[in-house]
Homo-oligomer: A and B are copies of this chain.
């Protein structure tokens, strides 16, 4: 995959307003490529309900994400309907990962703003991700501790029940 698109989508869909920025070539590309992408890069214009069913988010939530500035400017069809691209899908997948970490939405918006601001924010973005990374490390450790406690309690109940069966 690797998202090396620049080949703007050629209106395969009654839609033709394209209007994307010119810069933004390398972007991030980490390819989270768990899943290839429902449509190839030339024909990637998804309706909101398609994206909803792909991502598991509701259409409401997708619109809300856009309103609060968590999405990178979504294309519209000539009738004003949203048309999401593969790139938007990648972004949403990443946002999903961040959501799993418990990062507040405001912080994700901050990151999105940095992305929109251009390449000169690389350092700040990296710093933000690094802090998040440390957070995640800590949370994993906490969860491991919790797992130990749970195992211990489960073991306790197993013993108690074995004991009560014996007599």
Which of A's residues lie within 8 Å of B, judged by CB? 26, 28-30, 32, 94, 97-98, 100-102, 119, 122-123, 125-126, 129-130, 132-133, 136-137, 139-140, 142-147, 149-154, 156-158, 160-161, 164
Contacts and interface: CB of A to CB of B under 8 A. Distances in A.
- Chain B CB within 10 Å, residue with most, of A32, A137, A143, A144: A143
B28 A161 contact: no
B153 A123 contact: no
A146 B101 contact: yes
How many copies the complex holds: the figure is 2
A122 B161 contact: yes
Nearest to A126: B157
A150 B126 contact: no
A132 B101 CA distance: 18
A143 B146 contact: no
6 contacts: A30-B149, A30-B152, A30-B156, A129-B157, A140-B140, A140-B144
